[in-house]
């Protein structure tokens, strides 16, 4: 599994396509929100803007990890190896996670810049909340990207498939982020955090088990 992860990251940083496109896309969506919102209300909406921007931009870039494999049939090369399918899923998920995490850091900084959100009192908590949200998103998005990549209408279908399922994540991540940005620490995020963690665990395991089903022919 680490082999694949290493390879994917190597590929990613070699071409740097996904990361740069992702960052630019996030920037543009963020700008759109900035212009759409009344500046005084913008700070209130910051957590919401963060996650909505991130999810939409993230969905567009998550398919890349599978599209990469279609050229030259390298996907088959991968399937032929003795590597367990579940391990392939985890590797892809982590690969996505890392790219998304980097992009989200940039997004957070931009958010603070544009919307005047103050640097939080407990940056560690903010980090943890974000990472937890990222994990859940990455798990679901990676699983369904494996599915949508094989269909013609792939760009349209992935958001359709994933967005309804992400609702719990959105609700909890936004609220937890709001609490932490307002100066609370991890403990005060209480139930939101718990649900977030459950979400992450359930869908990582589900993805790990179901991935095999989506790659069979």
Partner 1 sequence: MTVAQEVVVEADGLGKSFGRTPVLRDVSLRVARGEALTIFGPNGAGKSTMLRLCATLTRPTVGRLRLFGNEAVGPEVRRRIGVVSHQSFCYPDLTARENLTFFARAYGAAAPEQAAISWLDRVGLADVENRPLRVLSRGMEQRLALARALLPTPDLVLLDEPWSGLDATAADVLTGLLATAKREGRTVITVTHDLDRGLAIADRTCILHRGRIVWEGAVQPASEGQGGVGAARAALDAAYRRVTAPVAA
Partner 2 sequence: MTVRTRVAPIAEHVLPYAATLMMLIALWCVFIYAPDERMQGPVQRIFYFHVNCAWAAFLSFFVAAGASGLFLWRGRPAHDHLAQAGVQVGMLFCTMVLVTGPIWARPIWGTWWTWDPRLTMTVILWTIFAVYLLLRATAHDDPEIARYGAVLALVGVLDIPLIMVSVRLWRGMHPSVISAPEGKGGLEDPRMITTLLVTLVAFLLLIAWLLWRRYETLRLRDEIHTLEDRLTEVAA
Q: Which residues form the interface with partner 2 (CB under 8 A)?
A: 140, 143-144, 147, 150-153, 157, 160-161, 163-165, 167-168, 171-172, 175, 191-192, 195, 198-199, 202-203, 206, 210, 213-214, 216-217
Distance CA 137, CA 134 (A): 5
Choose the one of partner 1, partner 2, none that binds residue 152, judging by a C-beta under 5 to 8 angstroms depending on kind: partner 2
Choose the one of partner 2, partner 1, none that binds residue 1, judging by a C-beta under 5 to 8 angstroms depending on kind: none
Per CB under 8 A, does 216 bind partner 1?
A: yes
Per CB under 8 A, does 72 bind partner 1?
A: yes
DSSP state of 188: G
State the minimum distance, in angstroms, from the CB of residue 83 to partner 2.
21
Total residues in contact with partner 1, by rule CB under 8 A: 23
Residues 49-68 that bind partner 1 (CB under 8 A): 68
Among 76, 102, 155, 160, binds partner 1 (CB under 8 A): 76
Distance CA 197, CA 129 (A): 10
Of the two residues 6 and 194, which places its CB atom closer to partner 1 in the complex?
6
Of the two residues 30 and 91, which places its CB atom closer to partner 1 in the complex?
91
Q: Is 122 left (phi over 0), alpha (psi -120 to 50) or beta?
A: beta
Span from 25-33, 82-90, 181-189, 201-209 in contact with partner 1 (CB under 8 A): 82-90
Give one DSSP letter per residue of 45-81, joined into a string: HHHHHHHHHHHHHHHHHHTHHHHGGGGGGHHHHHHHS
Burial of 107-145, coded b for 16+ CB within 10 Å and e otherwise, reads bbebbeebbebeebeeeebbbbbbebbbbbbbbbbbbbb
Per CB under 8 A, does 198 bind partner 1?
A: no
Per CB under 8 A, does 74 bind partner 1?
A: yes
Choose the one of partner 2, partner 1, none that binds residue 202, judging by a C-beta under 5 to 8 angstroms depending on kind: partner 2
The binding site for partner 1 (CB under 8 A) comprises 3-4, 7, 10-11, 14-15, 68, 71-74, 76-84, 216-217
């Amino acid at each position: 599994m680490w082999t694949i992860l290493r390879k994917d990251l190597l590929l990613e940083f070699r071409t740097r396509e996904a990361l740069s496109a992702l960052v630019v896309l996030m920037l543009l969506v963020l700008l759109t929100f900035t212009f759409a919102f009344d500046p005084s209300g913008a700070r209130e909406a910051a957590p919401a803007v963060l996650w909505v921007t991130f999810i939409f931009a993230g969905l567009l870039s998550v398919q890349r990890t599978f599209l990469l494999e279609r050229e030259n049939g390298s996907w088959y090369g991968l399937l032929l190896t003795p590597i367990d399918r579940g391990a392939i899923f985890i590797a892809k998920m982590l690969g996505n996670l890392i790219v998304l995490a980097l992009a989200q850091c940039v997004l957070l900084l931009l958010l603070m810049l544009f919307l005047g959100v103050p640097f939080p009192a407990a940056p560690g908590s903010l980090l943890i909340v974000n990472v937890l949200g990222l994990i859940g998103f990455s798990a679901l998005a990676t699983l369904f990207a494996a599915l949508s990549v094989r269909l013609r209408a792939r760009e349209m279908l992935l958001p359709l498939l994933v967005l309804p399922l992400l609702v719990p994540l959105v609700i909890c991540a936004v609220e937890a982020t709001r609490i932490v940005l307002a100066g609370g620490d991890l403990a005060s995020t209480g139930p939101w955090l718990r649900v977030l963690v459950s979400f992450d665990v359930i869908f990582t395991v589900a993805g790990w088990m179901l991935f095999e089903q989506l790659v069979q022919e």
